[in-house]
A and B are shown apart, each in its own frame.
Chain A
C-alpha cells in the first residue's frame, strides 16, 4: 500500500457519500476542486522536476465543501488539529428524521434533522442545541441575537425516534421480504421509513420534480429509445457503411514494439 493512500485513509479524506449526493456534482469535479495545490514547479523546463505540493488533508466543518468559508478553512497556509472520526458501518441519520437529543441543555427534546455532516459524524437539529450569537452590533445599535444550531455526534448525542410510540430507540438495518433494506426499531420492530427530504439535492427536491433544461437536456423519451441493432462489424465499419465510404486500399504489414 502506498504511503499517500494510507494518509488519505487516516484523515478520511474524500467527501462523504451523502454530501456527494446532495451536491449532485460529477466525481472528477469534486476531486479537482477539493485538492489545493500549494506549490507546482514550472513545467516544460529541463531544470525542474515535475513536482508539486498538494495539501491532502481536508478539514471538514459544518460548512459545505462548495462554500467560500470551506475554501478559507482549507487555504494552503491554514493548519488544523487532527480530527478523529469514529468509523460507522451503516449511516442511519438523514435530513428530515425525527430525533431525540441525549445530552446538553436540550436533553430529552425531539426535533427534525436539518443538516447532515457525514465527514464528522455530525447532525444539526432544527431549532435545538442552539448557541446564541449577536449580529450587527454597533455603537448605537445593541445588535440582534440569533441562535445557531450546534452539531451533535450521531454515536451518543442523538437517537432516532420510533414513530409507533414517539420514544427514542436503537435501530437495526434489516431486509423486507421484497429485498428492500429498511431501518427497524429494535424495541417495537416497527419500520422507520427514510424521509423524502433525504432525496433532495442542490438541483431538485425530489427526482420527479426536476425541471429539465429545455435547451441542453436530453428528454427521457430520447434517452430510453433502443436503436442498437447488433451486426457483425466494428463501429468504424458501420459508420463508413452509413456514410457511403468505401475503403479499397489494403494496409501493409506493420510491427508493434
Chain B
C-alpha cells in the first residue's frame, strides 16, 4: 500500500524547511526570533542556548507523528493490549494523567488519520478496535479526573462542581431533561432566552393529545408483555424439561405457573413409557 502524503504535505510544503528535529527547540527559537529587540538583547547577553534549556522529548517525527510506524502499514493485524481501567488510573498522579491524556490523544489522531488514509485507498484498516480501546481509556481517564474534582468541591463547597441539569416541560406538556448553560445575564433579565426556549405548557388542547400519547405507550407495553409471554410459552413447548429457575431469572415479569397451562405450551410429542 502506498500512502499518499501529498494531500497533507501539499498544504505545508513551504513550511517544512523550517522544521527542526526537536519540536520544543523549534518553538523556542521562533519565539526568540519574534521577541522585541530589548528582550532579545538580555537573552543573547548570556547565551542563546542556556537561556531556556530545551527538553528532549524523544524521537521527533514532525508530521509523521500522524501516521503509524511503517511496519504496521502492510500487516493484517496489529496486536496490542487492552485499554486502561479506572482502578489503574486512580493510582496515578495528576501530572501523570495529564501526560497520559496527550499520549492517548496523539494515538487517536494517528489512528483516525490512518483509517482515513486506508479508506481513501480502499484498503482494510488493520485492527480497527484500537480506536475503541483508546477511546475507552480516554473516557475512563476523564471519569477519574472528575471523581477527584468532585471530591474536592464536595469537601470545600458542598456541591459537586459538575454542570447542573434541569427537568422542564415542553410545549406538549412532556417532561424533558436538559443540561443548563452558563449565562452572564440573570434569568429575570434574559427574556429572549425564555421566549426562544418556550418552556412550560398552558394549553388545554394538549390534554387530549397527552391522553392519546399515554394510551399509545401503554398499548406498546401491553404488546411487549404479550410477546414475552408467547415466547415463554413456545419455550415450554420446545423444551419440556426446561430449567424453570433459569427461565424465571431471564423473564422475571412472566407468570410461569399460568403460562405453562396454556394450550400452546403443551407440545406435539408423546412421552416414552417405561
The residues of A with any CB-CB pair to B shorter than 8 Å are 1, 3, 6-7, 9-10, 24-29, 32, 84, 86-89, 155-156, 203, 210-213, 215-218, 223-229, 232-236, 238-239, 242, 252, 254-257
Binds A, one of B50-58, B180-188, B263-271: B180-188
* Interchain CA distance A236-B228 in the complex, whole Å: 51
Q: Is the CB of B183 within 8 A of A255?
A: yes
Measured between beta carbons, the chain B residues less than 8 angstroms from A29 are 128-129, 131-132
Measured between beta carbons, the chain B residues less than 8 angstroms from A9 are 228, 250-251
Q: Mark B219-243, 1 if CB is under 8 A from A, else 0.
A: 0110110011001001100110111
Q: Does B45 count as interface, using CB distance less than 8 angstroms?
A: no
Q: Is the CB of A256 within 8 A of B181?
A: yes
Q: Determine how close the nearest CB of chain A comes to the CB of B59; give it in whole angstroms.
A: 12
* Interchain CA distance A227-B97 in the complex, whole Å: 10
Q: Determine how close the nearest CB of chain B comes to the CB of A120; give it in whole angstroms.
A: 13
Q: Is the CB of A257 within 8 A of B227?
A: no
- Residue from the list B91, B128, B220, B239 in contact with A3, Cβ < 8 A: B220
Q: Does B153 count as interface, using CB distance less than 8 angstroms?
A: yes
- Residue from the list A32, A89, A226, A257 in contact with B132, Cβ < 8 A: A32
The 9 closest A-B pairs by CB, nearest first: A89-B246, A238-B94, A29-B132, A227-B93, A6-B224, A87-B250, A87-B246, A29-B129, A26-B132
Q: Is the CB of B79 within 8 A of A203?
A: yes
**Can you identify 19 A-B contacts, CB atoms within 8 angstroms?**
A1-B224, A10-B231, A87-B235, A88-B243, A203-B79, A213-B79, A213-B80, A215-B69, A218-B81, A227-B91, A228-B91, A233-B152, A235-B145, A254-B184, A255-B182, A255-B186, A255-B187, A256-B163, A257-B181
- Name the interface residues of B140-197: CB closer than 8 Å to any CB of A: 145, 148-149, 152-153, 155-156, 161, 163-164, 166, 180-187, 190, 193
- Residue from the list B132, B182, B231, B238 in contact with A254, Cβ < 8 A: B182
Q: Does B245 count as interface, using CB distance less than 8 angstroms?
A: yes
Q: Is the CB of B224 within 8 A of A3?
A: yes
